[in-house]
């Protein structure tokens, strides 16, 4: 539907120099349905929603906030959005319009309250997911005293200023080897062949097997950091972490340092905590946490060092984490 409407808009623009609107596209829907009668077998709501998405994509393009809308790939993630009038939820079962049976869902979590929309996606690995938008009151956690700074370590994944460093989850490496083999196989398959599609699916499944536990691992980590600390201080950007840290880059790569910050940020809002983001150019590794002396250089290979001014002996990552925490708390005071 999205691609049909997009093709129509492009043609219209070429012939008349004019654009279209959601209302105009929606009127054409009846005509498109006559050409493809199977469109009548599904609810009209997700069809209209994809026209709305196209309208939004054009608006963002015209406001220069996004690139020109492009055709969606058939092997990309597919999605259908069902608004409130196109599904039924009785607290137990979810029924989509024009479907007789309820969806056989394996729930990852339960929710309270009434959903306002349901999105069904088919990911590149061939798996269906349902995400449900719910308005839910989240109880903030009782305030606590503890604060923490976190550094993206060289060997250990995340080094907090207090407590145990979190190891880089090594069990992903096995799948990474399999992925490389599957990708080589895919590269040898003829374009457009059935075998190529099979090989593509295989690659996508291995990608999912790597990405899923990583995301899960990251969720557990961010939830714990937010639960245990009133204030969490972290560097704001992946760039520095990535440059500094190839080993970790691998572990965080799929989900991204940006994803870690994103999770910390919304969980902090949910639970009444504070996330302080530190400028990525703050020299967290070069400052001595004990006396504030600043080193000119701090090569990647240095794991431990001794401050020439005060004699303090530092673990590289822990010292950086402590500096990130002090800087975060300082910024918080300034802004209060």
What residues act catalytically? 151, 235, 317
Does residue 187 bind Zn ion (CB under 5 A)? no
Does residue 286 bind Zn ion (CB under 5 A)? no
Sheet hosting strand 78-83, strand order edge to edge: 78-83, 115-122, 128-134
For the record, the structure tokens of 318 come out as 């822990």
Question: Closest separation between CB of residue 318 and Zn ion, Å?
Answer: 14
Question: Closest separation between CB of residue 179 and Zn ion, Å?
Answer: 45
Does residue 309 bind Zn ion (CB under 5 A)? yes
Instruction: Count Cα neighbours of 61 within 13 Å in the Cβ-side half-sphere.
Output: 11
Of 89-97, 159-167, 209-217, 280-288: span binding Zn ion (CB under 5 A)? 280-288
Residues in CB range of 207: below 8 A, 6 or more apart: 124, 125, 179
Instruction: Tell me how far the alpha carbon of residue 78 is from its chain's centroid.
Output: 17
Residue 285 CA to residue 304 CA, distance in Å, equals 11
Of 87-95, 199-207, 210-218, 307-315: span binding Zn ion (CB under 5 A)? 307-315
Residues in CB range of 175: below 8 A, 6 or more apart: 206, 209, 210
Question: Closest separation between CB of residue 300 and Zn ion, Å?
Answer: 21
Does residue 293 bind Zn ion (CB under 5 A)? yes
Q: Which is nearer to Zn ion, 9 or 314 (CB)?
A: 314
Interface residue with Zn ion among 105, 133, 181, 291 (CB under 5 A) is: 291
Of 25-33, 34-42, 207-215, 293-301: span binding Zn ion (CB under 5 A)? 293-301
Q: Which is nearer to Zn ion, 312 or 332 (CB)?
A: 312
Of 8-16, 208-216, 239-247, 299-307: span binding Zn ion (CB under 5 A)? 299-307
Closest CA to 165 of 311, 4, 321, 40: 321
Give the per-residue contact string, 103-142, with Zn ion (x = CB under 5 A; - = no).
----------------------------------------
| Helices within the chain (DSSP H only) | 2-16, 22-35, 44-62, 172-188, 194-228, 238-244, 246-253, 257-271, 316-335
Residue 29 CA to residue 23 CA, distance in Å, equals 10
Q: Which is nearer to Zn ion, 282 or 305 (CB)?
A: 305
Q: Which is nearer to Zn ion, 134 or 310 (CB)?
A: 310
Q: Which is nearer to Zn ion, 34 or 309 (CB)?
A: 309
Interface residue with Zn ion among 5, 241, 288, 321 (CB under 5 A) is: 288
Interface residue with Zn ion among 28, 290, 331, 332 (CB under 5 A) is: 290
Q: Which is nearer to Zn ion, 137 or 296 (CB)?
A: 296
CB atoms inside a 10 Å sphere around CB 257: 22
Does residue 233 bind Zn ion (CB under 5 A)? no
Cβ–Cβ under 8 Å, residues 40 and 29:
no
Cβ–Cβ under 8 Å, residues 176 and 209:
no
Residues of the shown chain interacting with Zn ion in the complex, contacts defined by CB under 5 A: 288, 290-291, 293, 307, 309-310, 312
């Amino acid at each position: 539907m999205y691609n049909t409407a997009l093709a129509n808009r492009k043609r219209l623009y070429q012939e008349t120099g004019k654009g279209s609107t959601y209302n105009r596209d929606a009127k054409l829907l009846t005509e498109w349905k006559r050409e493809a009668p199977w469109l009548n077998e599904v609810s009209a709501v997700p069809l209209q929603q994809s026209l709305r998405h196209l309208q939004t994509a054009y608006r963002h393009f015209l406001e220069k906030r996004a690139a020109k809308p492009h055709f969606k790939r058939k092997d990309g993630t597919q999605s259908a959005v069902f608004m409130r009038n196109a599904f039924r939820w009785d607290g137990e079962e979810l029924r989509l319009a024009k479907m007789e049976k309820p969806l056989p869902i394996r729930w990852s979590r339960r929710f309270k309250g009434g959903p306002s929309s349901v999105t069904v996606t088919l990911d590149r690995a061939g798996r269906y997911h349902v995400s449900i938008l719910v308005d839910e009151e989240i109880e903030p956690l009782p305030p606590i005293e503890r604060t923490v700074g976190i550094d993206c370590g060289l060997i250990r994944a995340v080094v907090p200023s207090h407590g145990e460093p979190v190891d880089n989850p090594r069990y992903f490496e096995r799948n990474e080897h399999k992925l490389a083999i599957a990708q080589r196989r895919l590269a040898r398959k003829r374009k457009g062949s059935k075998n190529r599609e099979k090989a593509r699916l295989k690659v996508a499944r291995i990608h999912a097997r790597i990405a899923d536990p990583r995301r899960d691992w990251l969720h557990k980590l961010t939830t714990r950091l937010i639960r245990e600390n009133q204030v969490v201080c972290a560097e704001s950007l992946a760039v520095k972490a990535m440059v500094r840290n190839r080993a970790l880059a691998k572990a965080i790569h799929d989900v991204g340092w940006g994803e870690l910050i994103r999770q910390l940020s919304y969980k902090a809002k949910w639970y009444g905590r504070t996330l302080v983001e530190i400028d990525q150019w703050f020299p967290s590794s070069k400052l001595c946490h004990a006396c504030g002396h600043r080193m000119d250089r701090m090569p990647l290979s240095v794991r431990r060092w001794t401050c020439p001014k005060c004699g303090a002996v530092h673990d590289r990552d822990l010292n950086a984490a402590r500096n990130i925490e002090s800087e975060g708390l300082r910024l918080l005071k300034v802004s209060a």
